[in-house]
Amino acid sequence: MNRRRSALVLAAVLALMGGAAHAKGQLQARQTGVDLLPGVRGGRLVLGNAGDAEVAAQVRVYAWTQDGDGDRLVPSNDLAVSPPVAKIPAGGEQLVRIVRTSSTAPAREMAYRVVVDELPGDPGTEVGSAVQVRMRYLIPVFVRVADPAPVAVQCRIEQNQLACANRGGVAAQFGASKLVAADGRTMEITGGLLGYVLAGSARRFELDSKLLGNATAWRKLEVRLNGQPATLDLSATP
């Protein structure tokens, strides 16, 4: 084999090795949330792998509450997931079943986060708190109740934060949001998802203090509230 041909063969081998070295899985969550409607104990979450190599995923459940400042997640056995650990082939999908462990209907809406972690290596041997996580999804899960009180949100600006309380019986999802001043000026908070204020809960959202300026100048909040446009008066006290 002459030198030129040897060089070409070596280049081809290196290219193949490089492609193999860069092959990797790409974990995806096909849904942004799961609703368990009244009388329904089980739901489903579909995970996908858009990469070119197998990916391992671990699924865990946390009870989701809010303490007025932000979200709190505590491990919970209220929901069971199956399988809790899975290998997803390249280009494939994995169905994860989510089932309430109690048959008793809750007295109020309950909120959870299903945390999906991408794991390195063999999912049969690398699970637990010490695992190095590559990708993480926090999927909202709501256990709904019959005839809940509607969303009742009040907000105000306090210490460069948007402080909101929800006295209703349904979680409030805040989408694209902007502040509106008395003179018509606006300040965009986000063009996408801002976050949730859970039923009967309160939380705060950070604002850009440089853009905010004089907090008393802002009178209204225009927001996509549970997918629908809404305007909230900022003069109300949470």
Q: Which of 226, 233, 62 is nearest to 164 (CA)?
A: 233
Residues contacting residue 130 through CB under 8 Å, at least 6 positions apart: none
The whole-number pLDDT of residue 224 equals 98
Shared-domain flag, residues 46 and 103: yes
Residue 12 lies in a domain: no
Eight-class DSSP state of 23? -
The whole-number pLDDT of residue 187 equals 97
pTM summary value: 0.83
Quick: pLDDT tens for 138-161: 999 999 999 999 999 999 999 899
Residues contacting residue 148 through CB under 8 Å, at least 6 positions apart: 108, 109, 168, 169, 170, 199
The whole-number pLDDT of residue 237 equals 52
Q: Locate 35 and state its tokens.
A: 């609703």
Residue 10 lies in a domain: no
Each residue's pLDDT, cut to its tens digit, for the chain (238 residues) gives 444 444 433 344 333 344 444 568 899 999 999 999 999 999 999 999 999 999 999 999 999 999 898 999 999 999 999 999 999 999 999 999 999 999 999 999 999 999 999 998 654 444 555 555 589 999 999 999 999 999 999 999 998 999 999 999 999 999 999 999 999 999 999 999 999 999 999 999 999 999 999 999 999 999 999 999 999 999 755 5
The whole-number pLDDT of residue 222 equals 98
The whole-number pLDDT of residue 69 equals 86
The whole-number pLDDT of residue 25 equals 81
Residue 14 lies in a domain: no
Find out whether 156 and 234 touch, Cβ atoms under 8 Å.
yes
Residue 52 lies in a domain: yes
Task: Look up the domain containing 167 and give its range.
Answer: 153-233
Shared-domain flag, residues 40 and 134: yes
Shared-domain flag, residues 135 and 212: no
Residue 139 is part of a domain; what is its CATH number? 2.60.40.10
Find out whether 109 and 196 touch, Cβ atoms under 8 Å.
no
Residue 186 lies in a domain: yes
The whole-number pLDDT of residue 113 equals 98
Shared-domain flag, residues 202 and 172: yes
The whole-number pLDDT of residue 24 equals 81
Count of the separate structural domains present in the chain: 2
The whole-number pLDDT of residue 134 equals 80
